[in-house]
Amino acid sequence: MRVLGIDPGLTRCGFGVVDGVPGRAPTLVDVGVARTPADLDVARRLVRLEVAVEEWLLRHRPDVVAVERVFAQHNVTSVMGTAQAAGVAMLVAARHGLPVVLHTPSEVKAAVTGSGRADKAQVGAMVARILRLDAPPRPADAADAVALAIAHVWRGPAVNRYAEAVAAHARPARLPRTTPRRVS
């Protein structure tokens, strides 16, 4: 399975591609960061991110895209930009017909380090160790994207099976009647 991990951000958006299967060490395919200038208006920055995501999808042809789930922070401006960048990544992947899975930062940290409270340095060090790299990918956004991809390779199938089981047992929602009734 090939996974494209995306650590969304307006200033720096991390990308990491790994090949792997559960139970085995994944292989790093590519890692990088797309940057947008802070002095550019938000709409144009989002267009640049769209182009970057499109390029990564076309170059690497992943089976699934794993995006970091945006969580509440104290800085509302930062959360908004991160959420907008995540939305662009999910939109582009969906346009290509790819499944998109969201993982929280604590899920990723737990999958890669064994602790959901690990710091960025610990995540980077474990990414390097898991992939047998001399050093963690830089900047930290790149290492985080690779960690997302690794976490999905290792945890994704279980998450997907759970979601499929829930969906299979859910009752279909009743749809409202769409044609008007004729009153005599």
Q: Are 141 and 157 in contact (CB under 8 A)?
A: no
* Catalytic annotation present for 50: no
CA nearest to 2, candidates 176, 171, 107, 156: 156
Question: Would the annotation count 141 as a binding residue?
Answer: yes
* Catalytic annotation present for 63: no
> Measured between alpha carbons, how far is 181 from 57 in angstroms, rounded to an integer?
48
Catalytic residue among 68, 107, 119, 144: 68
Contacts of 143 (CB under 8 A, 6+ apart): 14, 16, 31, 120, 123, 124, 127, 136, 137
* Catalytic annotation present for 39: no
Question: Would the annotation count 68 as a binding residue?
Answer: yes
Binding site for Mg(2+), by residue number, is: 7, 68, 141
Residues noted as catalytic = 7, 68, 141
Binding site, by residue number, is: 7, 68, 141
